[in-house]
Chain A
Amino acid sequence: MRQTIVRDVSELPTYGYGPRSGPWWGAMGFMALEGMGFAIAIGAYLYLYAVNPNWPIGATPPDLWPGTAETIIYLLSIIPNEMTNRAAHRQDLAKVRTGLIVMSLIGIGLLVLRGFEFAHLNTRWDNTAYGSIVWLILGLHTTHLVTDLGDTVVLTVLMFTRHAKPRRFSDVTDNVFYWNFVVLAWLPLYVLLDWVPRL
């Protein structure tokens, strides 16, 4: 078929930030389906809550301090996360490196706290349906946290190598974006796990 060139696109950039880039939309897609997974798990919790006359079943509510401490750290982590985002947009490699190290350390700290949280749920997964759903939801979010931490650590290492090219800053901003989702996903889970049993 005959063709007519009507436009030259060679002047376009080879990477972009936010909704202009493909990976950002990929992250959005995974956030949508993971968010749906959390919503379904919350639905399962509330279903079991509704069909059981006593809740929590055969246990005391979780101790508040690990979840509350995590929530505070999650909320505070938005500050270094946003600083990393701005540094990435400025393509300031030194500050991006620092920001990624800080975010990796925050992720590791949160994982340690998560260990304490499991230990202070005051129920085991095999005690009752209450224990099962609490462990499942916390397990899902922990998987979420571990995968994001893995991503952040690999990106941190990458930014200390020869691969720290300009377009990698776009990957950093996507990582920042995804962390905000990790924080956002945690907030309703914190209310559900730590406060609903106290109603």
Chain B
Amino acid sequence: MSIAAEQHALRDDGLNGLQLSTRLESIWRTPSGFLGALMSVDHKVVGRRYIVTSFAFLLLGGLLAVLMRVQLARPENTFLSADKYNQIFTMHGSTMMFLFAVPVMEAFAVYLVPLMVGTRNLAFPRLNAFSYWMFLFGGCFLWISFALNVGPDVGWFAYVPLSSLQYTPTKRPDVWAQMITFTEVAALAVAVEIVVTVFKQRAPGMTLDRIPLFVWAMLVTAFLVMFAMPSIMVASTSLILDRLVNTRFYDSSSGGHSLLWQHLFWFFGHPEVYIIFIPGTGMVSAILATFARRPVVGYPVVILSLIATGFLSFGLWVHHMFVTGLPQLGAGLFTASSMLIAVPSGLQIFCWLATLWDGRPVYRTPLLFVVGFIVIFVMGGLSGVMVASVPIDTQVHDTYFVVAHFHYVLIGGAVFPLIGAVYYWFPKITGRMLSEKLGRWNFWLAFVGFNVAFFPMHILGLIGMPRRVYTYTADMDWAHLNLLSSGGAVIFALSFALLLVNAIRSLRSGALAGDNPWDASTLEWATSSPPPPQNFDRIPVVKHRDPLWLDSASLPVVAGLSVERREVLLTSLAEAEPQIREGSPEPSIWPLLTAIATTVFFIGSIFTPWAVLWGTPPMAVTLIGWFWPAGSKEDEE
């Protein structure tokens, strides 16, 4: 095809609005039928699956939490055996950290980031589909193992030597270590996709100082994933090699060292907290701006705080190891850095409070959850400053005080904003509004239930109740507070049941949302609810930080993208100047097949090292099938 002919064919300015929409939808839609669904590379389809799957894991993990609280509700309870309790608290922690908290944040990013930066799909859509399948298979693998009574029982941290072959000769730690690999692959793939999407696919004019704060938060999170996850990869690979082929990384009799595990694990594990928390802050910023009816105060301060938090999060891992006998100088350094991270977090809190103060807040359900977040997270932050101090940490280490602290930080810092985000973006994703009345019940049940469940744990920790114990004797005087905590846990669980009821009810008969029901300012609200397969008929041009508030009369857009093949617009890194019209991959079954081959490889290798040999060719074949361009329209031009 000649250049002139190609350019003529690509013109879209001859089509009216309806013709353009119809044409683009036919190009970008997911193929119909069951096979078509398995082939989808649409970020919205994959994102929805990710969100639903990670919430399913939240329900499973939450159910385990309720079982633990039932067991601990009264002294010398026999509801659960010690062995089952060990499995349950391991499964609860592993599920919440690896199968819910990180994936759900990335899931929201998968769905929202392309819409918020004004593009038609994520960079590397097939990798995105692959990452979802890996996440799903890894999670199913863990839970099927649990159902078959080979679920891990060595804690979500799997400390050696407890998790070594000598002390746990079953397959349980192997299941845990391989699940880690699955979730790593998924998380790392999504992180790269987000970075490239934000760097290269932003709408023209969306300069660095016009990027929505949620997108900034996900960009920082993606970098944290990329630099933290390799550490757990090295750690878990070394663990499983120790167990399966007798390497000696953690065997002190042969020059190995058990503290190596803790260093590698917490070098990942502490940034992990911020991988969960930072997206929550992005959600808070998005919700606050909309419901306070004004942009977030101190936009540059919030961004610098996000970046500072990201950097500092890598300098904190040793505060998990204060009682391991580290040199005092090191302990002092890590105390200082642990306390220092309160500064950027505090700056963001003050920016949000100033936004509320200076705005005209409308207290709808999403904003209620944000206010709940601020209260709970500040309390968690205060106990965080306490455990950053070596003398206090030494006293409360491995007690329920620590359990209370990290639940205040993680649930306050991530889950409250997340539920607010569900209420906020549910209309965009489904086209239906959630019930406001049920939402308010949802919030108050969650807020009261959470505090009743977790605040008593501070006191239990201070009066000496250790964590990870399956029961206690009556003479310890812990029974009343434990009963109160268990009651709170049930109320907290009910709040999630109410959220589920609200979602199902609204999907069936919720009020229609319209394009922009909250009168928000960012680009995801510039398209219909739910968005069409192509996201936008024409790519928007961004001239302000809040385009829908300041360009409300008419949105500036570009023309000239293909109406014959999938195409995205690539822009320059800083100024977002248009550079290239790049092809975007078609739906494909190969990501699923590659994920199946990879799953067989990893699970097989638990049982025989030969799986590394016979498992490799299928992976190679499916990868070649994935990358081979046969049938691609762009290659037939």
User: Which A residues form the contact surface with B (CB < 8 A)?
Assistant: 1-16, 19-22, 25-26, 29-30, 32-34, 36-37, 39-41, 44, 47-48, 51-52, 57, 125-133, 135-136, 150, 154, 158, 163, 165, 167
Contacts and interface: CB of A to CB of B under 8 A. Distances in A.
A33 B193 CA distance: 13
A25 B195 contact: yes
B7 A26 contact: no
A158 B630 CA distance: 10
Contact of B227 (A22, A36, A126, A129): A36
Given A25-B199, A150-B620, A57 B255 contact: yes
Contact of B560 (A9, A21, A44): A9
Contact of A29 (B12, B196, B247): B196
B474 interface: no
B276 interface: no
Contacts of A30: 192
B456 to A, nearest CB: 39
Contacts of B553: 2
Contacts of A9: 558-561, 569, 578, 581
B229 A1 contact: no
A3 B570 contact: no
A135 B245 CA distance: 12
Contact of B226 (A14, A19, A20, A33): A33
Interface string B1-45: 000000100111100000000000000000000000000000000
Interface stretch (B234-242, B290-298, B342-350, B378-386): B234-242
Interface in B513-567: 515, 526, 538, 541, 548, 553-561, 567
Q: Do most interface residues of chain B lie in helix, strand or loop, or is the interface mixed? A: mixed
Contacts of B188: 33
Contacts of B48: none
16 contacts: A1-B555, A7-B578, A11-B7, A16-B582, A21-B582, A22-B201, A26-B123, A29-B196, A32-B226, A33-B229, A37-B234, A125-B247, A126-B247, A126-B248, A129-B248, A154-B628
Contacts of B10: 10
A1 B551 CA distance: 10
Nearest to A55: B255
Nearest to B8: A10
B558 A130 contact: no
B195 A4 contact: no
A4 B555 contact: yes
Contacts of A154: 624, 627-628
Contact of B249 (A1, A37, A132, A150): A132
Interface in B589-637: 620, 623-624, 627-630, 634-635, 637
Nearest to A1: B555
Given A25-B199, A125-B245, A150-B623, 5 more contacts: A1-B548, A16-B580, A33-B229, A48-B255, A129-B248
B263 A47 contact: yes
B629 A158 contact: yes
B591 to A, nearest CB: 15
Q: Which 9 A-B pairs have the closest CB atoms?
A: A10-B560, A29-B192, A129-B255, A132-B247, A37-B230, A129-B256, A126-B246, A9-B560, A36-B230
Interface in B237-279: 237-238, 241-242, 245-249, 251, 254-257, 260, 263-264, 267
A16 B582 CA distance: 9
B438 interface: no
B629 A163 contact: yes
B556 A128 contact: no
Contact of A19 (B195, B558, B573): B573
B558 A167 contact: no
Contact of B195 (A29, A34, A129): A29
B464 interface: no
Contacts of B627: 154
A65 B265 CA distance: 36
Nearest to A151: B627
Given A10-B559, A20-B579, A32-B227, A47 B260 contact: yes
Given A33-B188, A126-B245, A14 B554 contact: no
Contacts of A130: 255
B238 A132 contact: yes
Nearest to A32: B226
A6 B543 CA distance: 11
B539 to A, nearest CB: 8
Contact of A129 (B196, B249, B628): B249
A133 B580 CA distance: 45
A32 B192 CA distance: 10
Contacts of B196: 22, 25-26, 29
Contacts of A41: 234
A123 to B, nearest CB: 11
Nearest to A54: B255
B191 interface: yes
Contacts of A37: 230, 233-234
A136 to B, nearest CB: 7
A129 B254 contact: yes
Interface centre among A2, A5, A15, A47 (most CB of B within 10 A): A5
A125 to B, nearest CB: 5
Contacts of A136: 234, 237-238, 241, 247, 249
Contact of B260 (A14, A34, A48, A158): A48
A33 B226 CA distance: 5
B231 interface: yes
B204 A7 contact: yes
B124 interface: yes
A104 B38 CA distance: 34
A26 B193 CA distance: 7
Contacts of B623: 150
Given A48-B260, A129-B251, A163-B635, A2 B560 contact: no
A48 B629 CA distance: 46
B195 A44 contact: no
B332 interface: no
A175 B237 CA distance: 27
A33 B230 CA distance: 7
Given A25-B123, A48-B257, A6 B557 contact: yes
